[in-house]
Structure 1
Amino acid sequence: MQVHFLTQDQDYPGEHSEVLEVLLQLRSQYTLETLAAQVKKQQAQGYQLVYVQADSGILAVAGFVVTEKLAWGKCIYIDDLVTNSACRSQGVGHFLISWFKNYAKAHQCTQIHLDSGVQRFPAHRFYLREGFNIASHHFSMLDV
């Protein structure tokens, strides 16, 4: 398994449609084309997309930003993280979280943060096993 960056200058969806197809498993409100456009737009604002690849294909995808906050200092915020449904419970998520820990250290980040939908109980169990804490409630206001 190897982690690769999906760079901003690559043709979307093009040869990387496999990466976006896995991301669509998490963000199903998009089509392949609208997801490609949104990823490109966010990349222009600092969003980075990585994927885990093996001989068998794309195993996982994660989108994140390196940011700095008054509350957290310099940190990684993971916006999107999904393991291909065909590869779950095989250590791929653990591999990717380990990569994030190393990436954080290499970029002088002291914390990693993410949000997870309240209904995603298997994901919550995974994050807790990986050492994440439930540190806050996330509030949102829609349609403002």
Structure 2
Amino acid sequence: MQITFKRLEANKASIILPYLDIMNQHKVPMEILKERFEEMLTQNYEAFAIYDQDEIIGCFGLWHMTRHYCGKSLEPDHVYIKDTYRSKGIGAQLFQWIESYGKEKGVTTIELNTYIENFPSHKFYYNQGFVARGYHFLKKM
């Protein structure tokens, strides 16, 4: 395996939409998903693909922001790795890369959200040095 993480230019970022669709369990119609994703690309957001040589095996996004309680931060979003590539150390490698990338950008904090029922991700993030600091609430309007 030769794993790399590549930032996608806005005009090529749609290649990860099928992975976002899988992550959303096909609950958001593709046209709406595409529309939302294109809007995200105009905000403080970068899209990345995860490659094994020339094959895309996953994706993730990074939100850039400054928060009053933690300073300049990165928020990884929609981290996805194909099933056949899981439990091979790629996630740990990805978060080491994100930390290095953040340091280059002057980031002092990495924060993220994960679904309450996604217990394997909780264990993974704890193993990466993250601590649970609160709940993420959502109200649809």
After TM superposition, the structure 1 stretch with the greater mean CA deviation from structure 2, 31-40 or 118-127, is 31-40
Query: Matches of residues 48-127 of structure 1 in structure 2 within 5 Å?
Result: 48-55=46-53, 57-127=55-125
Q: Secondary structure at the match of 1:114?
A: coil
Aligned residues: 138
Q: In structure 2, which of residues 17, 22, 36 is the aligned counterpart of residue 20 of structure 1?
A: 17
After TM superposition, the structure 1 stretch with the greater mean CA deviation from structure 2, 128-137 or 50-59, is 50-59
Q: Which runs of 5+ in 1 are unaligned?
A: none
| TM superposition score normalised by structure 1 | 0.86
Alpha carbons 2:4, 2:53 under 8 Å: kept: no
Q: Which runs of 5+ in 2 are unaligned?
A: none
TM-superposed CA distance for 1:88, in Å, is: 0.9
CA distance in 2, matches of 1:79, 1:119: 17
Alpha carbons 1:60, 1:92 under 8 Å: kept: no
- Percent identity between the aligned chains? 23
Task: State the partner residue of 2:7.
Answer: 5
| Aligned-residue RMSD, C-alpha | 1.8
CA distance in 1, matches of 2:77, 2:38: 15
TM-superposed CA distance for 1:103, in Å, is: 0.8
Structure 1 residues 137, 122: closer, same or farther in 2, change over 3 A?
same
TM-superposed CA distance for 1:118, in Å, is: 0.4
TM-superposed CA distance for 1:21, in Å, is: 1.9
Alpha carbons 1:2, 1:52 under 8 Å: kept: yes
Structure 1 residues 41, 101: closer, same or farther in 2, change over 3 A?
same
Query: Matches of residues 26-45 of structure 1 in structure 2 within 5 Å?
Result: 26-28=23-25, 29-45=27-43
